[in-house]
Amino acid sequence: MQPISYARHQFPPEIIWHAVWLYLRFTLSYRDVEELLAERGIQTSYESVRRWVLKFGPKFARNLRRQRPRPASTWHLDEMVVTIQGRRMYLWRAVDNEGEVLDVLVQPRRDKAAALKLLRKLIKKQGFAPAVLVTDKLRSYAAAHRELGLSARHEQGLRQNNRAENSHQPVRRREHKQQGFKSPGSAQQFLSMHAAVQNTFSLQRHLISRGTFRLFRAKAAEAWQKATAAA
């Protein structure tokens, strides 16, 4: 865990990480966060919030990822279309069978090379290969599977991959709120931060009791405090 330096900032760390948390946790704009802080008597600008997110968000996300347990060995892969600066791009996403977002990758194509890049990045980042790979019927996945010589069982089917497709929904809401992503680089950076926060705070409350939900929420808040702790 890498402590965070908040040196040379006017506001205390608690306000900075709370503003970043609001922006990444909920479907809010920078101006929305500014309004919420103002309601609590904290006078800052949306530009300050934007700078905090860009500077501290990747560091917080990195620390959150380091606290996550090893993901399951069943990986669901899927891709969705996003329009960036009038250009058709593809957001490739991998989640495990518990809904944990393993990685996201913005790419210009929907072909074998793109699928290979995603799988190689996943295996390198996770440190192990999957036991089961679940995808839709896009042939690029099967070609990449053969190219890498994976021993994982490859399951294909539209309904089988609902886990990955449902994981796109929060991104669609954010894309709409932000009136589209501004560039592939900024989209990649935001989605990486958003995935780390989503993994920590997405507790699927409809599947657990209220008492268990409170316990999980407290653990998520503790993980956030550790990830944002000052040096």
- Give me the pLDDT at residue 94, please: 93
- CATH assignment of 74-182, among 1.10.274.10, 3.40.50.300, 3.30.420.10, 2.30.30.40: 3.30.420.10
Ordered by start, the domain boundaries in the chain are 1-67+183-231, 74-182
Is this structure's pTM higher than 0.85?
Answer: yes
What CA–CA distance (Å, rounded) separates 161 from 158? 6
Q: Is 39 exposed, middle or buried (0-12, 13-18, 19+ CB in 10 A)?
A: exposed
Q: Are 24 and 193 in contact (CB under 8 A)?
A: yes
CA dihedral sign of residues 152, 197, 178, 187 = negative
Q: Kindly report, residue by residue over 156-171, the tens digit of the pLDDT.
A: 876 777 777 777 788 8
- Give me the pLDDT at residue 205, please: 66
Phi, psi of 145 (to 5 degrees): -60, -45
